[in-house]
Every structure is written in structure tokens, then in C-alpha cells.
Amino acid sequence: MRVRVEQTALPGIGVRHDLMTESGRRLGVVSHRNGRRDLVLYDPEDPDSCQHDIPLTDDEAEALADILGASLMLGQLSGLREQAAGLLTEQIAIPAGSKYVNKRLGDTKARARTSASIVAVLRQGTVNVSPDPTFRFEAGDVVVVVGTRQGLDGVTAILAETDPDV
């Protein structure tokens, strides 16, 4: 499952990461030292040469990473859904006013109270898979929860601005 990513230093320019896909295409990212980054696609006929060189702004790169990360996540979750009927997944955002901002995941006691599990937290384009109980939330985090309908609603209520049980 792990993909081998090659890292190459480009003296005076920055660094390049590239990988070979299963379909035989090579693609990479050139990170320039001045903060610019390029997505590069290599020529299948001449694997040393890049066919396309697409400059990405910070926002574009983040958006692309989000799309790739999120679609992967959803793909895995939908696979899970097929295995266990009746189990639902939901993405719940933590509002800035929630009392669990800056609190640990364990403090919510979400699993004990709702029997739904927090399986991942999305934060600024990065995915924290299986966060442990010491994981600290920040405003704007999106938690991915797996559970029954009732359980999911329970977690939503806990993370909302006013925790019903406290």
C-alpha cells in the first residue's frame, strides 16, 4: 500500500518529490525555495522528461491536497459502509464556540456516551487518522465519526456550542 516517494535535492532551486503510479506514469512536485511549487507530469515515452509543468499557488496546492485527501477518506469510509449495514459516517465541524476547542479528544467521552467513534480529524488539509484520546481539538477541525444515526446525532450535540449533558 505504501508508495515509494523519491526525494531529490535541486541545488539552488529547491527539492523535488516524485513517484511512479501503478499505471506507469511518473508524477512529482517541485518545491521551489521561494515558496512556489510546480506539479509535474512526466512523459510516458521518455520518463526523464516532464511533459507538463503546472505552477500552483499556495491556495491551489492546499485545495488539491484537500480534494485528494478527502476523496481518499470518503472512499475508505464508503467501503466501510458496505461492510456494515446500519453503520453511518458523518463529518462534523467543531464550531469556534464549542467547549471542546483546545480540549482533548478524551475529554468528550464521546464513545462512552454515544457509542459512536471519532475515526479521523481533518485539519487545514491534513488528515489525522485514528487520533488518540490526547489529541487536542482546534476551532474549525472537522471530525469524521462512525456510528448509528443516534450516535452521530449525539456526537454532533456534544461538539455543538452547548453540550447538552454538562
Residues in a beta bridge with 126: 123
- Answer for which of 45, 82, 132, 165 binds other proteins (CB under 8 A) is 45
Using CB atoms within 10 A of its CB, is residue 41 exposed (0-12), middle (13-18) or buried (19+)?
middle
CB of 159 to other proteins, least distance (A): 39
Q: How many residues interact with other proteins (rule CB under 8 A)?
A: 23
Tell me the residue type at 70. Answer: A
* 47 touching other proteins, by CB under 8 A: yes
User: Out of 1, 3, 7, 9, which residue is the one contacting other proteins (CB under 8 A)?
Assistant: 9
Q: Which of residues 10-39 bind other proteins (CB under 8 A)?
A: 10-13, 16, 18, 28, 30, 33-34, 38
The residue range among 47-55, 80-88, 92-100, 122-130 that interacts with other proteins, by the rule CB under 8 A, is: 47-55
Q: Pick the closer one to other proteins by CB: 53 or 60.
A: 53
Residue of 75, 72, 108, 112 whose CA lies nearest to 92? 108
Task: Choose, by CB under 8 A, the member of 19, 53, 78, 138 that binds other proteins.
Answer: 53
Q: How far apart are CA 109 and CA 154, in angstroms?
A: 11
Instruction: Please state whether 154 falls in left (phi above 0), alpha (psi between -120 and 50) or beta.
Output: alpha
Spatial contact of 137 and 103, defined as CB atoms under 8 Å apart:
yes
Q: Do the Cβ atoms of 27 and 19 come closer than 8 Å?
A: yes
Q: Is 46 in the site for other proteins (CB under 8 A)?
A: yes
Cα angle 96-104-92, degrees, rounded to a multiple of 5: 50
> Of residues 83-142, which lie at the interface with other proteins (CB under 8 A)?
none
Q: Residue numbers of the site for other proteins (CB under 8 A)? A: 8-13, 16, 18, 28, 30, 33-34, 38, 40, 42, 45-50, 52-53
